[in-house]
């Protein structure tokens, strides 16, 4: 039994039609209405999570910057006279904060920021 005899150009057209049919079956145009509606609901939920993540990130950053400002500027300059009543290692506490304490607090804030951001990324599902 012999199959249809088509020219090479005709077989190319058949391949092209099959390729278009396969691509069309993967397109979103053929998805049922329910699937499209569920996709739009999921994308709205992701947008809400992104806004919550951004608000939490801003809140964390501003809080840590405020702590850093109070420790470095407040303890080292504004409250220095009050803190000098106490001593650490023989040095007045206000002087100690101005020279070393604010740096220690800054390094601790960096580690806390890394830990807190990893927690926020897991909470809002934006981790890599």
pLDDT digits (tens, 9 = 90+) for 62-114: 999 999 999 999 988 899 999 999 998 889 999 998 889 999 999 999 999 99
Q: Is the separation of the CB atoms in 117 and 60 below 8 Å?
A: yes
More confident residue, 67 or 125: 67
Which helix (H) or strand (E) segment is 120 a member of?
helix 102-124
Q: 10 Å Cβ neighbour count for 97?
A: 26
Position 123 pLDDT exceeds 60: yes
> What phi and psi values does residue 55 have, to the nearest 5 degrees?
-65, -40
More confident residue, 11 or 108: 108
- How far apart (Å, rounded) are the C-alpha atoms in residues 65 and 67? 5
User: What is the predicted pLDDT for the residue at 56?
Assistant: 95
- How far apart (Å, rounded) are the C-alpha atoms in residues 107 and 109? 5
Crossing angle of helices 33-69 and 102-124, rounded to 10°: 170
Band of pLDDT at residue 125, cut at 50, 70 and 90 = confident
pTM above 0.75, yes or no: no
Question: How many C-alpha atoms does 54 have within 13 Å on its Cβ side?
Answer: 6
More confident residue, 75 or 41: 75
């Amino acid at each position: 039994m012999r199959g249809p005899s088509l020219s090479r150009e005709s077989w190319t057209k058949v391949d092209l039609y099959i390729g278009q049919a396969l691509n069309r079956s993967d397109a979103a145009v053929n998805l049922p209405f329910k699937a499209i509606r569920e996709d739009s609901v999921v994308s709205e939920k992701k947008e809400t999570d992104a806004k919550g993540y951004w608000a939490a990130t801003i809140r964390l950053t501003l809080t840590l910057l405020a702590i850093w400002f109070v420790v470095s500027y407040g303890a080292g300059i504004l409250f220095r006279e009050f803190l000098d009543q106490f001593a650490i290692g023989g040095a007045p506490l206000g002087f100690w904060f101005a020279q070393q304490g604010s740096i220690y607090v800054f390094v601790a804030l960096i580690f806390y920021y890394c830990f807190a951001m990893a927690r926020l990324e897991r909470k809002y599902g934006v981790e890599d």
